[in-house]
Amino acid sequence: MDLSLLSRKSDVEWWIEPHGRMRVPGIVFGTESLVKEMDEKVYEQVTNVATLRGIVRASYAMPDAHWGYGFSIGGVAAFDADQGGVISAGGVGFDISCGVRLLSTGLTRELVEPLKKRLADELARSVPAGVGRGGRLHLDGPEMDAMLAGGARWAVEQGYGMAADLERIEEHGRMSGAKPGEVSEHAKTRQRDQMGTLGSGNHYLEVQHVAKVFDPAAASAFALREGDVVVSIHCGSRGLGHQIGTEFLKRMVLAAPGYGIDVPDRELACAPIDSPEGEAYLGAMRAATNCALANRQIITHLVRRAFDSVVPRSQLTLLYDVSHNTCKVESHQMDGRTQRLFVHRKGATRAFGPGHPDLPPALSAIGQPVLIGGTMGTASYVLVGAGGSEARSFGSSCHGAGRSMSRHQALRQWNGRQVIEELASRGILIRSPSARGVAEEAPGAYKDVTAVVDAADRAGLSRKVARLEPLVCIKG
């Protein structure tokens, strides 16, 4: 990105001053080197989002931002329905409610290392991964609608996990306002055999160890200690979410002229929040969110069974589950008064600070866990929501390392088998049905996750708690 186009406010905050049709400024978080590395499309997309009707305060880009569809990935924007605010399918993304959940195992790296190969093989057998790979669960019509309405709560009622899990999931495991009837039969058909599966792309199931603790108080509250083994699950709403995004983008493109909406980029197709199209999308998107929450809940159950078969009587406890492709209705302080806003976070995670009413009692004093996925060869991070982040970014933080090159570029540079062998030489076991998929997700295809996390910490978006390093990675 051309820094001459930006106004520098601090070492980690840069502004795109309002110009042209912009209604609010654009704010990009990141160090000078991270912002320089961002593609020019990020500047264009942050600027374009700032032109949308009803946007408030600013159009944001997180430190991991890169080009996306309509919104940049790492983009955050909030809209006020009372000011004609809009909802954009491109501002949520195609993998609706893709997210990360983290499980503590109560096991140490010392205990797990000799069992690592058995554990990798058992997890790969237990949790299907890969393009179009189905699971053992098949949902008929009524079951599908019940899942879309019930989310992780439905999954727990079916025997997948424990009621205690729900307290550690955003929305307590179920997003209200879901309308399964707004989800097309085609979308439901695509999902019918996909529950309990990882999918492909950057989705993963990873066994990790806590390599370093930065904030002992927060780590203690999260029950994380150096040397502990944890499990991360990163996936979303699979084919159902993608189909919803595709269908509603088309609907919004056709409906926009009737509402006098003229966007600078067709990919920003949107509809007024309170319009029939806007309300239908919200209902379908919330159903997809519940699908993702149920999917991660079922995978959690499968992971627990796999661990128990290798390490009998192991106890895997859910620390937290957070989504990073959503639009949520939240209350925020604007000009001294509380406003009800529709906050789009695309490739960005919620990061509420201490005392927020949406946090479970056990986490209220310390803040929300923020789970940052890295790459299969580097590290992931646990952060915690920082006080004041709501005023800085509507309580939002980055969600991962962010790609530094396209999948096509990665394929030209890496061979999947070589990546697997190189990681194995470092003690990281990869299990994947696709060598091509591994090459596309090579660690070198991503930004330096540590630099991204450090920038989020310095910007006050979230605070570093612990660094996690991989032992086993199941990839799609």
Q: Give 427-444 pLDDT, tens digit per residue.
A: 999 999 888 889 998 988
Instruction: Write phi, then psi, for 225 (nearest 5 degrees).
Output: -130, 150
Neighbours of 394 (CB within 10 A): 26
Q: Do residues 75 and 60 make contact, with C-beta atoms less than 8 angstroms apart?
A: yes
Contacts of 437 (CB under 8 A, 6+ apart): 130, 131, 200, 201, 416, 475, 476
Handedness of CA 313, 292, 27, 14 (dihedral sign): positive
Residues known to be catalytic: 399
Instruction: Answer whether residue 436 is part of any domain.
Output: no
Write the single-letter amino acid at 4.
S
DSSP code, position 333: E
Instruction: Specify the pLDDT at position 132.
Output: 66
Q: Residues 279-295: what's their mean pLDDT? A: 98
Helices (H), 229-359: 238-255, 276-310
Residue with tokens 């946007």: 55
Instruction: Answer whether residue 440 is part of any domain.
Output: no
Predicted confidence (pLDDT) at residue 336 exceeds the cutoff of 90: no
Predicted confidence (pLDDT) at residue 402 exceeds the cutoff of 90: no
Instruction: Answer whether residue 419 is part of any domain.
Output: no
Write the single-letter amino acid at 275.
S
pLDDT tens column, 419-428: 999 999 999 9
Instruction: Answer whether residue 160 is part of any domain.
Output: yes
pLDDT tens column, 144-188: 999 999 999 999 999 999 999 999 999 999 999 999 999 999 999
Instruction: Answer whether residue 102 is part of any domain.
Output: yes
Contacts of 378 (CB under 8 A, 6+ apart): 401, 443, 446, 448, 449, 450, 469
Instruction: Answer whether residue 432 is part of any domain.
Output: no
Cα–Cα dist 238/248, whole Å: 16
Q: Residues 30-49: what's their mean pLDDT? A: 97
Instruction: Answer whether residue 119 is part of any domain.
Output: yes
Instruction: Write phi, then psi, for 260 (nearest 5 degrees).
Output: 70, 25
Write the single-letter amino acid at 385.
G
DSSP code, position 234: E
Q: In the Cβ-directed half-sphere of 323, how many Cα atoms lie within 13 Å?
A: 36
Q: Residues 291-300: what's their mean pLDDT? A: 98
How many domains are there within the chain?
A: 1
Predicted confidence (pLDDT) at residue 335 exceeds the cutoff of 90: no
Share of the chain above pLDDT 90, in %: 89
Number of H helices, E strands in the chain: 15, 19
Residue among 60, 298, 92, 329 nearest 196 (CA) = 298
Q: Residues 192-197: what's their mean pLDDT? A: 94
Q: Residues 463-467: what's their mean pLDDT? A: 98
Helices (H), 270-394: 276-310, 361-364, 389-393
Structure tokens at 208: 């990790």
Question: For residue 101, what are the β-bridge partners?
Answer: 233, 321
Domain containing 191 equals: 3-404+446-475
Structure tokens at 420: 């697997």
Give the pTM: 0.96
Predicted confidence (pLDDT) at residue 59 exceeds the cutoff of 70: yes
Q: Do residues 36 and 4 make contact, with C-beta atoms less than 8 angstroms apart?
A: no
The number of residues in the chain equals: 476
pLDDT tens column, 200-252: 888 999 999 999 999 999 999 999 999 999 999 999 999 999 999 999 999 99
Cα–Cα dist 167/158, whole Å: 17
Instruction: Answer whether residue 158 is part of any domain.
Output: yes
Residue 325's CATH number: 3.90.1860.10
Instruction: Specify the pLDDT at position 159.
Output: 97
If you average pLDDT over every residue of the chain, what do you get? 95
Query: Angle of helix 276-310 relative to helix 238-255, nearest 10 degrees?
Result: 170
